[in-house]
Amino acid sequence: MNRLSKVAALAAPALMAASAPVLAQSIDQTINDGFASATGWFVSFIFSPFPGTSFPWIVAWLVVAATVFTVYFGLIQFRAFPHSISLVKGDYSDPNDAGEVSHFQALATALSGTVGLGNIAGVAVAVGIGGPGATFWMILAGLMGMASKFTECTLGVKYRNEYADGTVSGGPMYYMTKGFAERGIPAGKFMAVLFSVFCILGALGGGNMFQANQAHAQISNVVGDFPGWITGIVFAVIVFAVIVGGLKSIASVTEKVVPFMGVLYVLTALVILLMNYDMIGWAFGQIFAGAFTGLGVAGGMVGALIQGFKRAAFSNEAGVGSAAIAHAAVRTKEPITEGFVSLLEPFIDTVVICTMTALVIIITGQLVSDPATGMYLLDEGASTIQTVNDNKGVALTSAAFSSAFGWFQYVLAIAVILFAFSTMISWSYYGLKAWTFLFGEGKGKELTFKVIFCIFVVIGASASLGPVIDFSDAAIFAMAVVNIMALYFLMPIVKGEMDSYLSRLKSGEIKKFH
């Protein structure tokens, strides 16, 4: 009886669904095929490996940069960590500047742009392909990425434009033009233009399509399968209302709810870890062993490393340049202080939140391993690890969390939608800044970009995960190519600011106000 009713329950929606969505599915299919063929060349260029290896040059580029900044600034991410926290608490804020953008606000806004699907779906992708070992490389990339973020955000504040009406604009395009001119380096303008082009693509890709795609995946995971373009249109209308219609209430509600969702997510993960406290040691064992041996996953150790670094960079955006745009509005006389504050971002995003996701997926046993050898079993095609019920991306994280708390899939669905939405709002702003840098300010020009942005929401929700994630990664990493090059040229300026500030802090010239 029980079994019969289950079959009936499964069959009824299937019968109803069979007739109508043939047309709908074919719309999705057309969008997907067109998109994949239009972006394929760009993706394969960005991810092309070093000749004779399987190691993509772009991953090496990010790792080398993070290492260079970490060494050049003398492990600043660890030395300045306590000071960063007092800055965020407002210990060094002049009370007469109350009412201006505080360090906390700049950090919170930048975080709500980065904390999102990268932390939930991206980690699941990394662990699903690279195994638990990917987590190790992800944490390492997060720790080193703190130095990249420190460099770019200091420059973002130092070279921002302050206009007569009191508004500010900052970001890599401004430090590329102004900073390069100041140091007498040519081609600043060219790099700024190139960066802006990639930033627009990144805003449409990782900041938009990937979000729409995974939000749809999460919704259909809870309510059942339905065509992606429906989610896409609903999202596009809401995004349009906010960024074009100036409907501030939706945006400000999201900005307030997102931090609570983030805290709830971490707390739930902690509870699941505590419930399985006896397995935490085992999970870390898997992470360390997997980091250096791969435990039989596709690509072995290198596969784990590539996935870990890729997803960390995609999640915390260190070296990408987006955070430099977000942090530029803070009120401070010392640009370096915003650098200190911003280095907390990869820490919170990657070292804390991403690690939580990975641990929950590993501990709840979502990855299928061979009981005899302890090696992970691979899917057909041997590119991903077999998971319980064949879950991928956000569905994998959802399955992991709801294996402990069944209701959590609903909370996660809401969290994913809100995270996706707040990331889209942030990236629509980053993209817009790049767009106005290229084409100049003006209502008509801004509207053009905003409409394009909304169209891509629909495309992102309709396409399948593979092409979307490839293009999103490629666009975001293309930003990092240009941005990191600029950071190499400008890092002596940051060093000068840092040395001056730290010596004044030591001598007591810079005082606490509270």
Euclidean distance between CA atoms 261 and 256, whole angstroms: 9
The count of residues interacting with another protein (CB under 8 A) is: 37
Q: Which stretch binds another protein (CB under 8 A): 104-112, 438-446, 451-459, 486-494?
A: 104-112
Q: Which of 56, 113, 172, 339 binds another protein (CB under 8 A)?
A: 113
Q: Does residue 167 interact with another protein by CB under 8 A?
A: yes
**Shortest spacing between CB 418 and another protein, in angstroms:** 13
Q: What is residue 404's DSSP assignment?
A: T
The answer to the question of residue 99 lying near another protein (CB under 8 A) is yes
Beta bridge partners of 168: 162
Query: Using the rule CB under 8 A, is 49 a contact of another protein?
Result: no
Contact 294, 304 (CB under 8 A): yes
Collapse the DSSP code of 410 into the 3-class scheme (helix H, G, I; strand E, B; otherwise coil) and give the result.
helix
Residues 235 and 215 sit within 8 Å (Cβ to Cβ): yes
Q: According to the binding rule CB under 8 A, does residue 165 interact with another protein?
A: yes
Amino acid present at 288: F
Instruction: Name the minimum Å distance from CB 425 to another protein.
Output: 6
**Nearest distance, CB of residue 159 and another protein, angstroms:** 16
Nearer to another protein, 90 or 296 (CB): 90
3-state SS assignment for residue 44:
helix
The DSSP-derived string for 435-451 is HHHHH---HHHHHHHHH
* Shortest distance (Å) from residue 254 CB to another protein: 8
Binding mask 54-93 for another protein (x = CB under 8 A): ------------------------------------x--x
- Of the pair 246, 371, the CB lying nearest another protein is at 246
Task: Indicate whether 102 belongs to the interface with another protein (CB under 8 A).
Answer: yes
Q: Provide the minimum distance between the beta carbon of 426 and another protein in the complex, in angstroms, as a whole number.
A: 6
Select the residue interacting with another protein from 17, 24, 75, 168 (CB under 8 A). Answer: 168
> What is the Cα–Cα distance from 316 to 133, expressed in whole angstroms?
19
Q: Is 437 a residue that touches another protein (CB under 8 A)?
A: no
Residues 123, 139: contact at Cβ < 8 Å?
no
**The one among 24, 75, 101, 193 contacting another protein by CB under 8 A:** 101
What residue type is assigned to position 239 of the chain?
V
> For residues 253-273, b (16+ Cβ closer than 10 Å) or e, as one string?
ebbebbeebbeebbebbeebb
Site for another protein in 304-333 (CB under 8 A): 325-326, 329-331
Question: Are the CB atoms for 368 and 137 separated by under 8 Å?
Answer: no
x/- site string to another protein, residues 240 to 269, per CB under 8 A? Answer: --------x--xx--xx-xx----------
Smallest gap from Cβ 160 to another protein, in A, equals 10
Q: Which of 77, 109, 218, 221 binds another protein (CB under 8 A)?
A: 109
- By beta-carbon proximity to another protein, the closer residue of 311 and 331 is 331
Distance in angstroms (rounded) separating the CA atoms of residues 320 and 195: 10
Torsion of CA 90, 96, 99, 100, to 10 degrees: -70
From residue 260, alpha-carbon distances to 42, 199, 253, 297, 411 in Å are 37, 29, 11, 36, 12
Query: Which residues, including other chains, have CB under 8 Å from residue 286's CB and lie 6 or more apart?
Result: 132, 133, 295, 362
- Is 425 within 8 Å of 254 (Cβ atoms)? yes
* Interface pick for another protein out of 108, 233, 289, 465 (rule CB under 8 A): 108
Burial of 130 (0-12, 13-18, 19+ CB in 10 A): buried
Which region among 7-15, 16-24, 105-113, 176-184 touches another protein (by CB under 8 A)?
Answer: 105-113
Q: Which region among 27-35, 187-195, 290-298, 426-434 touches another protein (by CB under 8 A)?
A: 426-434
Question: What's the distance, Cα to Cα, between the start and end of the chain in Å?
Answer: 70
Smallest separation, CB 363 to another protein (Å): 32
Site residues for another protein, 144-163, by CB under 8 A, read 162
Distances (CA, A) of 30 to 119, 208, 462: 30, 19, 9
Q: How far is the CB of 447 from another protein (least distance, A)?
A: 15
Q: Nearest distance from residue 255's CB to another protein, in Å?
A: 4
Binding region for another protein (CB under 8 A): 90, 93, 95, 98-102, 104-106, 108-109, 112-113, 162, 165-169, 248, 251-252, 255-256, 258-259, 325-326, 329-331, 425-426, 429-430
